[in-house]
Chain A
């Protein structure tokens, strides 16, 4: 056997080891959403007071669509004050935060809303259809929608002030009549970014 052959066998293991090394470094919870760049699915869900809320009625505003549950501790507890604070700060600039409570009981969810004094609209997704429509695989997950109702980014995990600002500022600065952006600028945001 030639010298080249002697090297070929150990060398063939290199790509396999490289693939394994890559696999172990990737966060399996970070799943890119195919919905980023696509128009957000319309829905109408009831708020806790029983009034219907249609996503469509907020067209023209930047929408922060947050999927949460009262049992989601600590991430949902960490981000609730962040969402409330930023909703208050940005609402006059044409932004709305909509909370979608999933896989929860009305009592526990209402207690959560009272605990954090949430004033932005919150709806209940009782049968999970909207959650599945948005490809939710855990809580919290947050979508950032532009004024045209297109999903521009998805954030998995608790939203921080920094994430909120980073995602929302460029969307707010786009005019309501701005041309539809290309999918190239849309991307999912990492859970720990």
Chain B
């Protein structure tokens, strides 16, 4: 169904463009939407260009479509905005360079946390065992002998 809608929209746009007489590349609606989804709406709080009803976001969506129609690849369209706004325009930081840290830090933090927890638990267990063992050893041999005898008597 979604594919049908996308194809229908695609056809409408393609026919609209030929009627205007522009030598433009037909736009894939989904592609335009996915680009807008990655861009920050500059006048909103934590909204993407795709989700914002603001005038600025509308204008940015128009530019996305325009650049796709010019034959640019999605990465080039995104780079156009990054060149003007900096990487701040991207809702998700890029997985390279300094911003790679943002992606790696949580993984490293979880790994370190697990390692520390493991070490602490191991230490607790060692301590608990150490406390139990001397108690076993301090049983009086006479009492131990008596327990053994009584258990035997019961079995018999």
**Chain A residues engaging chain B, CB cutoff 8 angstroms:** 1, 5, 9, 12, 31-35, 103, 127-129, 131-138
Residues of A with C-beta under 8 A to B145: none
* B86 adjacent to A128 (CB under 8 Å): no
The answer to whether residues A9 and B84 also contact, given A129-B59, A137-B43 and a CB cut-off of 8 A, is no
* B42 adjacent to A137 (CB under 8 Å): yes
* A132 adjacent to B63 (CB under 8 Å): yes
Given contacts A34-B82, A127-B62, A128-B60, 18 further A-B contacts (CB under 8 A): A1-B120, A1-B123, A31-B85, A31-B86, A32-B86, A34-B83, A34-B84, A34-B85, A103-B55, A103-B56, A127-B59, A128-B59, A132-B63, A135-B84, A136-B42, A137-B42, A137-B85, A138-B43
* B55 adjacent to A132 (CB under 8 Å): no
Cα distance A9–B82 in the bound complex, in angstroms: 39
Q: Which residue of A lies closest to B66 (CB)?
A: A129
With both chains docked as a complex, state the minimum distance between the C-beta of B109 and any C-beta of chain A, in angstroms.
Answer: 9
Residues of A with C-beta under 8 A to B103: none
* B63 adjacent to A129 (CB under 8 Å): yes
Size class of B's contact patch? 20 to 34
Q: Is the interface of A mostly helix, strand, loop or mixed?
A: loop
Q: Is the interface of B mostly helix, strand, loop or mixed?
A: helix
Q: Which 7 A-B pairs have the closest CB atoms?
A: A128-B59, A137-B42, A135-B84, A135-B85, A34-B86, A31-B88, A103-B55
Contact with A along B67-105 (1 / 0, CB 8 A): 000000000000001111110100000000000000000
Residues of B with C-beta under 8 A to A34: 82-86
B116 within 8 A of A: yes
Residues of B with C-beta under 8 A to A129: 59, 63
**29 A–B contacts from the bound complex (CB under 8 Å):** A1-B120, A1-B123, A5-B119, A9-B116, A31-B85, A31-B86, A31-B88, A33-B85, A34-B82, A34-B83, A34-B85, A35-B84, A127-B59, A127-B62, A128-B55, A128-B60, A129-B63, A131-B56, A131-B59, A132-B56, A132-B59, A132-B60, A132-B63, A132-B84, A133-B84, A134-B84, A136-B42, A137-B42, A137-B43
Residues of B with C-beta under 8 A to A131: 56, 59
With both chains docked as a complex, state the minimum distance between the C-beta of B108 and any C-beta of chain A, in angstroms.
Answer: 11
Cα distance A32–B85 in the bound complex, in angstroms: 8
Cα distance A135–B42 in the bound complex, in angstroms: 9
Q: Which residue of A lies closest to B85 (CB)?
A: A135
Cα distance A112–B62 in the bound complex, in angstroms: 28
Q: Which residue of B lies closest to A33 (CB)?
A: B86
Cα distance A63–B156 in the bound complex, in angstroms: 110
With both chains docked as a complex, state the minimum distance between the C-beta of B115 and any C-beta of chain A, in angstroms.
Answer: 11
Cα distance A35–B86 in the bound complex, in angstroms: 9
Q: Which of B56, B82, B84, B123 is the one whose CB lies under 8 Å from A128? A: B56
Cα distance A127–B55 in the bound complex, in angstroms: 9
